[in-house]
Structure 1
């Protein structure tokens, strides 16, 4: 009996011990908590792309490659290149006004050459010689058109200072007299001639629809604008001033405030 009681007590104690052990916490190996990524942030908004402003570039005049521009603005027509360009242009019958304009512009370009050559001989300032040389190619450009249209040349075999057009003859005499008074006056004469030439060429362009004639006139206008810029720049160095005689003030200011136009 005692032996059985001892066995029962032993079994009860074992049961209690096992029960207590199952309620005890179990030791575990410590592990670092999983790193948590910070919540995603909204990506910084991309800057609005800047679209560059496209500034229109002035288109070169047709046949722009027939002109060369010197360091001081003297603008010369390459007559060989001009012949090549004109050979690709159609020619159309001329009306009386177009003929009159060509004959007049042939002598007006000669007037510019002759006045500048005369003033260079008097004052020895290089700008007169450089631009006189350029003007010789300008009047030759008009002569090219006269040949193309089989027109008589009013400047043929005429000496410096001699013109068929009486109005241009009187203007030549007047400008040479004026430019002989002083160097400043001579530079003002140069500006006056280019001022007049630009306006006369503009008017002649408006009176023709012949592409070959327009091509030549527009190139000569570019040359005259450059020559006007050159004369005004030189005049300012001499403390001289010029007021436009033919161009309106706005057009004049627009020309002299812009850089030299370049050719080939």
Structure 2
């Protein structure tokens, strides 16, 4: 069913189907994390992902989406998001952001990781750590009866506490369910207590995009790839999640987020 502002509220059975899609995404991203290496192209990475998604009985969410040609987005170094897989050769010292989506029985999962290829600088490692942790702080701030920007504020507050990073504002998280992108938007900045209420059956994709320099970006001529204006490195992490009466359930995390939520002192809501 749908509630205010076109927001889709799922039944427990529909959330369970999203969990199946989420596991395909999580398993694919772990495979890609293990597979990525210097000398391979981003298209080779894409082929590994598509094969794994399809062999798992799922369909890639991204392939054909508004004409997108890949099953993943592969964004390297100063590419923030939406990099098109192709003949770019991944080099030692690169950081690669990999965004992946899968559909099972009409329900979507969507998640992203940033991976260091070989030795990288401490600044890049810190950027990756801060971006991933900010995402988890967003989940930790979410509770039934709260508001969407409780997540936004927690993401921003953590990033700001870690140094002079840029938070990309033009691209945000989103609702997810029977379509990959749905209302409401989930910004990575803002004051708490704003936006739609967090209710049971709402599923959201939280995805901070953090850069070492200024947050300004531009779009390449391919109409997809987003790069930092100043050429600074970018990192991107994402998970899809929901809230149950027991707590948060990270639908695209292999363990449902149980271990990390426990570390943050947050109740686990998976089943």
Please report the TM-score for the alignment, with normalisation by the length of structure 1.
0.27
Greater share of helix residues, 1 or 2? Answer: 1
Q: Which has the larger radius of gyration?
A: 1
Greater share of strand residues, 1 or 2? Answer: 2
Please report the TM-score for the alignment, with normalisation by the length of structure 2.
0.27
